[in-house]
Structures are given as structure tokens and as C-alpha cells.
Amino acid sequence: MLIDTTTNVFMQSIQNPVLTNFSKFIAIVFEPIYMILFSLIISVYIYFKKSKSKGIFLASTIIATGIIIKLLKEIFQRARPLNSLIQDSGFSFPSGHVTVAIVFFGLIVYLFVDKKYKITATIITILIALLFGFTRIYLQIHWLTDIIGGFFIGGIILMLSIIIYKRVGCTRRV
């Protein structure tokens, strides 16, 4: 797609060592598998210390997200850009970093942020996901449309999981 190649050409034009090192740091620290494992650790803590239903909800939604990402990558089998600044295996669409960021941080905001801070926390979550998306395109591991797809898919997973959580009555304390 023209928008993908144009975006990647622009990213090549702004490359510099500081931005490259920062982007590599984000890519490593927020690798989706690490985020999923971290989410499961948080889920276990929440399950035993706070709320069984919230712990189960967080764990099951994050696991489902990982499965959905894997399935979509296998269905679409979209090749990654050729000029990557770091090695990344697997297919490109959707961006797992962005999808997991939207779901993970969105669930944290939904479950644990006080109502008066939800708008601020939601804006911060969106900015974090945008940062992740930028770094993925900057490193030329993803196309712009992979990032947009990650936002869209992550948003759908987040909304559907919250709707299901509310409908099955999980909001009462277990």
C-alpha cells in the first residue's frame, strides 16, 4: 500500500541513534510475550489479594488476546518490511505490541482507575499505544496499516471483553 511505503520512507529520513536506541528499548521491554506474562502475574496477585473475578477477567482476556493475535497473523501472513533495524520473526499484521498495549492498559484503567481519573488514564493509555506504534514503524518492523489494525483489534477485544464482563455479572465481588 502506498501509505505504508510512504510512511516507511519518512521513518528512514528521521532515523538517528538516540531514537533508534529508544525504539529498540521499547521493543524489548514491551515485547507482547513479556506483557502477557506480566499480566498473568498481576492476575494471580489480584485473584488472591483483591478480587477473584477481576483476576480471572484480566488473565482470560490477555490470554484470548494472545491467541487472537497469533491466529490473525497466521490468517493474513503479511510479510514484514525488508529494511528492519532489528530482527523480528513472524508475520506483520496485526501489531502484537499495539494490540496487547490497548488491551492490557485499557483493562488496567477499566478495573483499577478511580472514575475521576479515567479520562486522564485513558489518554495516557492511548499515548503509550501510539508510542509503541511509532517505534514499531520507526524500526521498520511493521507497516502503518499493521499499527492501525492493532489499534482496531485491540479496541474491539477491549470493548467486547468489558461488555462480557458486565453481562455475566462478574462486577460483583467474588
Q: Are 54 and 107 in contact (CB under 8 A)?
A: no
Give the pLDDT confidence of 53-97 residue by residue, as tens digits. Answer: 899 999 999 999 999 999 999 999 998 888 777 777 788 899 999
Q: Is 54 exposed, middle or buried (0-12, 13-18, 19+ CB in 10 A)?
A: buried
* Residue 145 to residue 1: CA distance in whole angstroms: 9
- Parse the chain into domains and list their residue ranges: 16-167
Distance, in Å, from the CA atom of 159 to the CA atom of 137, rounded to the nearest integer, reads 25
Which residue carries 508510542 as its cell?
131
Q: What is the pTM for the complete model shown? A: 0.88
